[in-house]
Amino acid sequence: MANNHEEAANVMAFDALYTTNQIQKLKVLLPHIEPSMQKNMAVYIKYMELQYTMHYVRKHPFQISGCSISDSPKPDLQSLCLQLSLYSSPEEIRQLEQFRNMLQTMETVQEMSQTLTALQEIFPDMSASSPFEDNASDDSGSGSGISGSGSFSMMDMLMNMLSPEQKEMFETFQHQNLEP
């Protein structure tokens, strides 16, 4: 809940930067104006905001504090999705959730890959066969991660840690990386 308050504060800070007290007063008065005039007043308020914003940007050509993309580190896309969902329709929220899940899967695959690489460096004798290879030499036939030669497949172990959706996403990325 505190995060929603923080995000709302960010939006309010942006709105406050590009408006004046005069415009804010008109917004306060808007519900109290005759209903037939409210639409015209709303358009007038937005026109004044646009006019003020254009004047402000010309007068202050510098970058808005905190809005730099070039100097900041890589943005947290999952957090950004959460922030956007506050202002999104149910369908957009569903799409943002799918994107967040995809990001999480990609992070998990990357962590698994790094772990596998580190383990292969520590234990170079261990087999790291691809989970996509047919383990015809697997004596048990259960995909237990132990090949017929008795070596342990780190990739099989790591793949067993994934959910079915994550496995499907990993396979999709793996096949895309293998294609020329």
Least confident of 32-46, 91-105, 160-174: 160-174
Which pLDDT belongs to residue 81?
Answer: 85
149 and 108 within one domain: yes
* Rounded mean pLDDT, 22-51: 92
95 and 174 in a single domain? The answer is yes
Q: Which of 23, 11, 10 is nearest to 53 (CA)?
A: 23
Q: Tokens at residue 28, please?
A: 């306060």
Question: Is there a domain that residue 84 lies in?
Answer: no
What 3-state DSSP class applies to 137? coil
**Residues 55, 93: one domain?**
no
Q: Specify whether 152 is located in the same domain as 113.
A: yes
Summarised one tens digit per residue, pLDDT across range 52-109 is: 999 988 888 776 655 544 555 677 888 888 888 888 899 999 999 999 988 888 888 8
Q: Please tell me whether residues 101 and 158 are part of one structural domain.
A: yes
Q: Look at residue 77 and tell me if it is in a domain.
A: no
Q: Which domain holds residue 26?
A: 2-59
Point out the domain boundary residue: 17, 44, 59. Answer: 59
Which spans in 60-153 are helix H? 77-85, 90-122
Name the pTM for this structure.
Answer: 0.47
Question: Confidence class of residue 3 from pLDDT cuts 50, 70 and 90?
Answer: low
Question: How confident is the model over 102-152, as pLDDT tens digits?
Answer: 888 888 888 888 888 888 888 776 654 444 444 444 444 444 444 444 445
Q: How many domains does the chain have?
A: 2
- What does the block give as tokens for 180? 């020329």
Least confidently predicted of 19-28, 65-74, 106-115, 154-163: 65-74
Residues 53 and 12 in one domain: yes
The answer to whether residue 24 is domain-embedded is: yes
Q: Are residues 23 and 98 in the same domain?
A: no
* Residue 78 domain-assigned (yes or no): no
Could you tell me if 101 and 168 lie in one domain? yes
Same domain, 43 and 110: no
For residue 39, the model assigns a pLDDT of: 95
Flag whether 164 is in a domain. Answer: yes
What backbone phi and psi angles, to 5 degrees, belong to 146? -110, 115
Q: Which residue would you say has higher pLDDT here, 106 or 37?
A: 37
- Is there a single domain that holds both residue 54 and residue 96? no
Cα separation, 3 vs 1, whole angstroms: 5
Is residue 73 situated within a structural domain? Answer: no
* Residue 160: per-residue pLDDT: 76
C-alpha torsion sign, points 20, 85, 39, 46? positive
Per-residue pLDDT at 129: 47
Q: Is residue 172 domain-shared with residue 102, that is, in the same domain?
A: yes
Mark whether 105 and 170 lie in a shared domain: yes
Give yes or no for residue 37 having a pLDDT over 80: yes
Q: How confident is the model at residue 34 (pLDDT cuts 50, 70, 90)?
A: very high
Whether residue 74 lies inside any domain: the answer is no
- Residue 64 in any domain: the answer is no
